[in-house]
Chain A
Amino acid sequence: MQRRKTEEAVFKGLMIASVSIVAAGLLTIVAVIAWKGVPALSIGMITQTPKGGFYLGKEGGILNAIVGSLYLAGGATLLALVISLLVALFLQREYIGKSRWAGVVRLSLDVLWGVPSIVYGAFGFVIMVYLGMRASLLGGIIVLTLLEIPIMARALDEVLRAVPRELKDASYALGTTRLETSLNVVTRQVLPGILTAVLLAFGRGIGDAASVLFTAGYTDRIPTSLLDPVASLPLAIFFQLGTPFPEVQARGYASAVVLLVIVLLIAVGSRVLSRRLTKYVVK
């Protein structure tokens, strides 16, 4: 009896320690960035595009990068969602059956998940050069989509696999097709899970610098067409931190604060939305 109590206490201690490490990591990152970045933050920073000499410490803001990042990550997440949902639905029993291909596809997705994003960037770049395309919003979106698909498809696959059999049977028993059941019942049941997958993928997309470096380019202007080059927050941070001027570096940290706030807002927003969506979910 005593031994079991000790076990319990030890494991509880370990769990608390692990949670503390995670929480402390997050807090320090936020604290350091905020400490260095918040003083440099101003309204102008998020409402203006860079003026001449911005990178030398003169007037301007990073609106180009904020809008660019939202375009890139938003477009890619949307595209990735459509593709991943189809992939994940297809991986379920009723479509692919017990086929070994399901395993092969899952394995490929897992491997792709682990591929460093610079490889995606280089790959996208090679293809774009071959096609004669220049770095552009479209190129960036496509490469980010590829980057997001593995994480999204696997996350969706897991939630779809957890959908109870009886639920699908109840729908089929009314004379519906697999597609109708998938779209009307299954996706509804997993809406909160879809939201989590979207959030994960969006987070990866908006925070990635390496894959957009060659494919989306960089510009001080806000793109007006899919074929224009586009700026992004991670690259803006990278460039600003790379200058030798302390005030520009401070703006780099301020840009990081902006990126962090965007991710945070989206995370909180999706939590709130998720709570709404679980209302109908069958437990």
Chain B
Amino acid sequence: MNDICLRIHGLNVSYDGHTALKNIYLDIPHRQITAIIGPSGCGKTTLLRSINRLIDLTDGAKIRGEIWLDGHNVMSDREDVTSIRKRIGLISQKPSPLPMSIYDNVAYGPRIHGMRDRKELDKTVRSCLETAGLWTEVKDRLQSPATRLSVGQQQRLCLARSLAVRPEVLLCDEPTSALDPVSSQNIENRLIELKKDYTIVIVTHNIHQAMRLADYVVHLYLGELVEHGPASEVFQRPKQDRTRAYINGTVLTKPRTDVEINLKGKVCPLNFVFAKAALENLEIGQVLKVIVDYPTAITEVPRAMEYDGHKVLGVKQLNETDWEVIIQKRE
């Protein structure tokens, strides 16, 4: 086994009484890329923000549990938050350049932590920008405002800025979701290079990105840790159904179906009418399952139902010809 960088022990987080993370026990391996995957709202950002204690700044957040980083409990009140955050960098989803020049953005952290010597600063800025793959693009305009960079460049600037304070761990919260494919690829390549020196934790919605990058995978679902393990195992032989479903791209929902109607053999306008009539008789929140086999119906029935304000929970192929559409009634 690889050695452990971060050990998360019984982490619970809630916002104003609403639980966001339940009893997370997790070891994050040293100098590897750990990908956190899971549907929206499952607590990925919350987990990252807990690890470097940015969560302290969120109103109403309550945290219980321990997170160990070589012998220090990050969560302990006795630890100095600023030194924890210096050791554990965070790159957010939306690039957030600071209101200063490109140079000052990178030099900001080192300056705060006491680097004054101009030559040393120059060297740090340069090497961090090089590592982030931005140096050649900006070396002639270091004094221009960081906001003038393109979004992809801004994200690499944020990477450089994080590296400048020499962290041990880099947390990346969907670092490429605001970027085009080429810029994303660029960031991905950086991360792969960086893992020889840093422990990297990346949150991603993109399962392919996780497959490309991850050595270790963590699957969260509704605040619970569903599965975690080496990437090869989790991706090829997921132990949990929910993980398998997520990886296959269909979120597994097992909605209780209240009414099922069979519309096989009915052509297009008719199957709408029947489906609508069936929904009329349901209470709000109840679920209708419709079986269709008419090819257009497979796309058009869900679309029409969503247009009426109902929620389509899933569309699944049952066999050669038949499909099921699961609809939840809304107001």
Binding site for B on A (CB under 8 A): 93-94, 97-98, 164, 166-177, 180, 184-185, 188-189, 279-283
Contacts and interface: CB of A to CB of B under 8 A. Distances in A.
A174 B108 contact: yes
B96 A169 contact: yes
Given A94-B57, A279-B145, A281-B147, A174 B96 contact: no
B96 A172 contact: no
Contacts of B59: 93, 97-98
A184 B96 contact: no
A170 to B, nearest CB: 4
B82 interface: yes
Given A169-B57, A176-B112, A283 B147 contact: yes
Contacts of B113: 175
A188 B158 contact: no
B158 A170 contact: yes
A91 to B, nearest CB: 15
* Residue from A170, A177, A281 whose CB has the most chain B CB atoms within 10 Å: A170
Contacts of B98: 167, 170-171, 185, 188, 282
Nearest to A93: B59
A173 B94 contact: no
Contacts of A283: 147
A97 B146 CA distance: 30
9 contacts: A164-B96, A170-B96, A173-B89, A174-B89, A174-B109, A174-B162, A177-B82, A184-B112, A282-B97
Interface of B: 52, 54, 57, 59, 82-87, 89-90, 92, 94, 96-101, 108-109, 112-113, 145-147, 158, 161-162, 165
A180 B109 CA distance: 10
A176 B161 CA distance: 13
Contact of B90 (A167, A168, A173, A189): A173
Contacts of B90: 169, 173
Contacts of B57: 94, 168-169, 172
A189 B99 CA distance: 6
A167 B165 contact: no
B36 to A, nearest CB: 17
Contacts of B96: 164, 166-167, 169-170, 282
B158 A185 contact: no
B99 A185 contact: yes
Nearest to B111: A184
Given A166-B92, A166-B96, A188-B99, A173 B54 contact: yes
A173 B85 contact: yes
B84 to A, nearest CB: 8
Contacts of B112: 174-176, 180, 184
B86 A175 contact: yes
A95 B300 CA distance: 54
Nearest to B161: A174
Contacts of A93: 59
Given A93-B59, A280-B145, A172 B54 contact: yes
Given A174-B165, A180-B112, A280 B85 contact: no
Contacts of A180: 112
Nearest to A186: B99
A280 B86 contact: no
Nearest to A163: B99
Given A281-B99, A281-B147, A282-B96, A174 B158 contact: no
A262 to B, nearest CB: 31
* Residue from B100, B145, B162 whose CB has the most chain A CB atoms within 10 Å: B100
Contacts of B158: 170
Contacts of A174: 85-86, 89, 108-109, 112, 161-162, 165
A130 B113 CA distance: 49
Give the top 3 A-B pairs by smallest Cβ distance, nearest first.
A175-B86, A174-B109, A170-B96
Contacts of B101: 280
Contact of B82 (A176, A189, A282): A176
A281 B98 CA distance: 8
Contacts of A280: 99-101, 145-147
* Residue from B83, B84, B90 whose CB has the most chain A CB atoms within 10 Å: B90
A162 to B, nearest CB: 13
A173 B52 contact: yes
B260 to A, nearest CB: 46
Contact of B109 (A175, A177, A188): A175
Contacts of B100: 188, 280
Given A167-B98, A169-B92, A173-B92, 14 more contacts: A167-B99, A168-B57, A170-B96, A170-B161, A173-B52, A173-B54, A175-B82, A175-B87, A176-B112, A185-B108, A189-B99, A279-B145, A280-B146, A280-B147
* Residue from A93, A175, A283 whose CB has the most chain B CB atoms within 10 Å: A175
A251 B158 CA distance: 60
Contacts of B82: 175-177
A283 B95 CA distance: 12
Nearest to B84: A175
Contacts of B146: 280
A94 B83 CA distance: 18
B175 to A, nearest CB: 13
A184 B85 contact: no
Contacts of B165: 174-175
Contacts of B52: 173
A176 B85 CA distance: 8
Contacts of B94: 166
A230 B113 CA distance: 47
A148 to B, nearest CB: 26
Nearest to A180: B112
